[in-house]
Chain A
Amino acid sequence: MSADTPAIEVHDLVKTYAGITAVNKVSFTVAKGEILGFLGPNGAGKSTTMRILTGYLPATSGQVNVCGLSVATHADEVKKFIGYMPENNPLPEDMRVSEYLHYRGRLKGLSRGKLSIRLDEVLELCDLKRVRHRIIGKLSKGFRQRVGIAEVILAEPPVIIMDEPTIGLDPHQILIVRDLIASLRGRMTVIISSHILPEIEMTCDRVLIINQGRVVSQGTPADLRREVFGHSRYELEIAGDTAAALPGALTKIEPTIHIAETGEPDSAGFRKLCLTTVRDDDLGEVLLRTLAADDRFRLRSLNRMHPSLEDVFLAATKRGWEAVDEPAATTVR
Chain B
Amino acid sequence: MKHFFIILSHEIRMLLVSASTYIAAVLFLGVMGFIFAGVLESYSKAAQETSPSTVFFQLFWLPVFFMVPLLTMKCISEERRMGTLETLLTAPVTTAEVVLGKYFAAYFLYLLLWGSTGGFFYILYRFAGDMRFLDFGPLMGGYLFIAVSGLFFVALGVFASSLSRNQAVAGILSFTLLFALIIGLNYVGTLEMMNLDSMKPARAVVDYARTFRHLDDFSHGVVDTRQVLFYLSGTALALIFSILGVEAKRLHS
Residues of A within 8 A of B (CB): 17, 51, 54-58, 76, 79-80, 82, 84-88, 90-95, 103-104, 106-109, 151
Contact = CB atoms under 8 A, between A and B. Distances in A.
A153 to B, nearest CB: 14
Nearest to A148: B87
A107 B92 contact: yes
B93 interface: yes
Q: Which of A57, A76, A90 has the most CB of B within 10 A?
A: A90
B250 interface: yes
Given A17-B252, A58-B251, A94-B14, 13 more contacts: A54-B90, A55-B90, A79-B91, A84-B87, A86-B87, A86-B90, A87-B83, A91-B84, A92-B84, A94-B18, A103-B6, A104-B91, A107-B3
B89 interface: yes
Nearest to B2: A109
Nearest to B82: A90
26 contacts: A17-B252, A51-B86, A55-B90, A56-B89, A57-B250, A57-B251, A57-B253, A76-B92, A79-B91, A80-B92, A82-B90, A84-B90, A86-B83, A90-B84, A90-B87, A91-B84, A94-B18, A95-B14, A103-B10, A104-B87, A106-B6, A107-B3, A107-B6, A107-B92, A107-B93, A108-B92
B103 to A, nearest CB: 17
Nearest to B83: A90
Interface of B: 3, 6-7, 10, 14, 18, 82-84, 86-94, 250-253
B92 A56 contact: no
A56 B86 contact: yes
A163 to B, nearest CB: 10
Contacts of B251: 57-58
Contacts of A91: 84
Contact of A90 (B3, B14, B86, B94): B86
A147 to B, nearest CB: 12
Contacts of A84: 87, 90
Contact of B82 (A92, A109, A151): A92
B76 to A, nearest CB: 14
A109 B90 contact: no
Contacts of A88: 83
B82 A93 contact: yes
A259 B242 CA distance: 65
B63 to A, nearest CB: 25
A108 B90 CA distance: 10
A237 to B, nearest CB: 51
A190 B91 CA distance: 17
Nearest to B93: A107
A86 B83 CA distance: 8
B90 A79 contact: yes
Contacts of B6: 103, 106-107
A94 B82 CA distance: 12
Contacts of A54: 90
A88 B84 CA distance: 10
A92 B85 CA distance: 10
A104 B90 CA distance: 11
Contacts of A55: 90
A91 B7 CA distance: 16
Contacts of A87: 83
A306 B118 CA distance: 79
Contacts of B94: 76
A202 B28 CA distance: 58
B42 to A, nearest CB: 43
Nearest to A84: B90
A85 B89 CA distance: 12
Of listed A54, A85, A91, A107, residue having the most chain B CB within 10 A: A107
Nearest to A106: B6
A84 B91 CA distance: 8
Contacts of A104: 87, 91
Lowest 5 CB-CB distances: which A-B pairs, in order?
A90-B83, A79-B92, A107-B91, A84-B90, A86-B86
- Which interface residue of A54, A55, A106 has the most chain B CB atoms within 10 A? A106
Nearest to A92: B84
A151 B87 CA distance: 10
Nearest to A95: B14
Nearest to B84: A90
B249 to A, nearest CB: 12
Contacts of A57: 250-251, 253
A261 B94 CA distance: 57
A51 B251 CA distance: 11
Contacts of B91: 79, 104, 107-108
B13 to A, nearest CB: 8
B247 to A, nearest CB: 10
Contacts of A103: 6, 10
